[in-house]
Amino acid sequence: MSTPVICFGQQPCGFFPKRFLVAKINTARQLQNEIGGEIVFFYHDSDHDPRETRTNLRRRTTDEAAQLNFTFENKIQRKFSPLYLKRVQAGWQEKTIGQLPNYVEHPLINIFKQASAANVADFCLEMYRGMGLLEGIKVMRSSDPAFRLQARDITDFFVDLPYENEIVRARFADGKFKLHEGGSEFIELPLTDYKKEQVSPSRDTRLGWMQSVINCTHYISGAGEQQYLNKADAPEITYIEREAIERSDDAYTEL
């Protein structure tokens, strides 16, 4: 038998990760203890949705919910640039440090102070590593040009393209490049040549695209993800539902 490759995937999901990501990590480690092999974190930092990095915290005194997020350098970046190219606005980290004592204790604040990445995907990954969550786990990123070059060709995809002095993630559909403005509104970009290193998958093609590089034997996901995964793209995988966790969308704030 081949050595097991246990994989889970996730977009950057807050500078303190959402609890459901930690549940995936815990499930992967438990499975590794049972069957051996390696764990791979498919870090889908090609996504562009700024809502992915919302960090849902609770006030230490009242347990009142609060939501923090990065601020970005401009509107184009916030709406359309992939997460690995959304730059953190100058002064955001210092301002957030002033707010954090309401929500977390000093050891976590110190980890946050030490993070120095310029874009939100790198910043989140630096935090997850600083919190000790990724020890012994291999991280493979959907933004990595080498990963994209190895991945199989897909028919439903996005392309990273220049627009208004930024790089944006445009959907290729009906022979056109489009940016979704909201509702039924789109911005159409000029047709242009592109390379494979600029391509990232849609939700429906992500599993097969990822699997063509990682070749995992087991894939861990939440119940919602299990419902939309196109398992026919990778029938060789054993699909595992992550462990249950309370307040799954809240930030994980433990060490």
Residue 2 clears pLDDT 90, i.e. is over it = no
Query: Considering the entire predicted model, what is its pTM?
Result: 0.96
- Would you say residue 174 lies in a domain? no
Burial class of residue 182 in the structure, from the number of CB atoms within 10 Å of its CB (0-12 exposed, 13-18 middle, 19+ buried): exposed
- Would you say residue 177 lies in a domain? no
- Mean pLDDT for 61-66 is 96
- In tens, the pLDDT along 115-167 reads 999 999 999 999 999 999 999 999 999 999 999 999 999 999 999 999 999 99
Q: What is the mean pLDDT of the chain?
A: 96
Question: How many C-beta neighbours within 10 Å does residue 150 have?
Answer: 12
- Would you say residue 57 lies in a domain? yes
Q: How far apart (Å, rounded) are the C-alpha atoms in residues 157 and 136?
A: 31
- Would you say residue 74 lies in a domain? yes
- Would you say residue 181 lies in a domain? no
- Please state the φ and ψ torsions of residue 130, each to the nearest 5 degrees: -60, -30
- Would you say residue 197 lies in a domain? no
- In tens, the pLDDT along 236-245 reads 999 999 999 9
- In tens, the pLDDT along 186-219 reads 999 999 999 999 999 999 999 999 999 999 999 9
For the chain, how many structural domains are there in total? 1
- Would you say residue 178 lies in a domain? no
Helix locations, 47-119, DSSP H: 75-80, 92-99, 106-114
Residue found under tokens 């995964």: 229
Domain span at residue 215? Answer: 5-153+203-241
Tell me if residue 181 falls in helix, strand or coil. strand
> Does residue 153 contact residue 208 with C-beta atoms inside 8 Å?
no
